Amino acid sequence: MTARTIDGGRRMAAATRIALIAVAAILVLVPFAWMASIAFTPAEQAFGSISLIPDNPTTANFEAALTQIDLLRALGNSLVVALVCVAANCLVAPLAGYAFARLKFPGSGVVLLVIVATTAIPVSVTLIPLFLMAKTFPLAGGNDLFGSGGTGLLDTLAVVTIPHLVGAMNVFLSRQYFAGMGSELAEAARLDGAGEWRIYWRVYLPLARPLIAVVAIFSFTGTWDDFLWPLVTTTSQEHYTVQLALVQFNATGNVQYGPLMAGAILITLPVLAVFLLNQRSFISGLAEGGTKG
């Protein structure tokens, strides 16, 4: 083989690769193009319209999404819930993961295994018990110390938030991440007389930005997308999250496709922004967390 054909072969390979990427990206994005097309199509011609570019594009569906239902309030609710969960996860999960990775204590392996195993618990197992626990939460919503008399945490933003505060998967990924970082830094810091807390906060956590990105994205999207739990625990519209607000356009026998898709786009943008801002850290964080150890 001459240098020239190798070069030509490489160029061919690169061109094929780009072509394949383009095809894949188009295939993946076509349904979204459709979604956007529906969002900009006037209601009366929406269903079954096959033109990807609407004849008379309109922003009426976006206005409907923002005015017909209280989407802004729902966005606010979801943002509060998601950010509280992101903050809690980012504080607690890496801390626990670090301890599991660095500080061996009796039974730590078993505890970690149990925590990992909880990720396999189907939502259908815990939905009803969690609901009843929320109802009998002591000293909330008119309840007495023993959890009776009132409605507990039901129909509050707190109840929507609580089950997402610590994700078992985030603890596991953190443990993997810190295990992959090795113990040399800790030993050096220990020689300088630093305690475990200090070592964690000052040495390891600042190096764990990619991990934080992973934990943040997982907890943000997990909370943002949750549907069944807020559906059964909230009753008044002032506590609706985005997913609950949106399904009002998905009514039995009266699906309003235009506003539904416009609303779906609006509620996807924050998640997309979170992902784009952290994309690089996210992938490298996963590379450390998910695979090593």
69, 248 Cβ separation under 8 angstroms: yes
Q: Minimum distance from CB of 278 to another protein (Å)?
A: 9
| Interface pick for another protein out of 60, 66, 79, 205 (rule CB under 8 A) | 79
Q: Does residue 203 bind another protein (CB under 8 A)? A: no
Q: Does residue 12 bind another protein (CB under 8 A)? A: no
289, 211 Cβ separation under 8 angstroms: yes
For another protein, give the closer residue by CB, 54 or 163.
Answer: 163
**Site map 238..267 versus another protein, x via CB under 8 A:** -x--xx--xxx-xxxxxxxx--xx-xx--x
51, 42 Cβ separation under 8 angstroms: no
Q: Minimum distance from CB of 188 to another protein (Å)?
A: 20
**Site map 167..186 versus another protein, x via CB under 8 A:** -xx-x-------x-------
**Site map 91..130 versus another protein, x via CB under 8 A:** -xx-xx-xxx--x----x--xxxxxxxxxxxxxxxx-xxx
Q: Minimum distance from CB of 221 to another protein (Å)?
A: 6
CA angle 113, 119, 125 (to 5 degrees): 120
Helices 108-117, 71-102: axis angle to 10 degrees equals: 150
Q: Minimum distance from CB of 193 to another protein (Å)?
A: 19
| Interface pick for another protein out of 87, 185, 188, 207 (rule CB under 8 A) | 87
Residues 24-53 close enough to bind another protein by CB under 8 A: 24-25, 28-32, 34-35, 38, 44, 47-48, 50
For another protein, give the closer residue by CB, 61 or 243.
Answer: 243
Q: Minimum distance from CB of 110 to another protein (Å)?
A: 11
| Interface pick for another protein out of 10, 17, 104, 202 (rule CB under 8 A) | 17
Q: How many residues does the chain have?
A: 293
For another protein, give the closer residue by CB, 190 or 225.
Answer: 225
Q: Does residue 60 bind another protein (CB under 8 A)? A: no
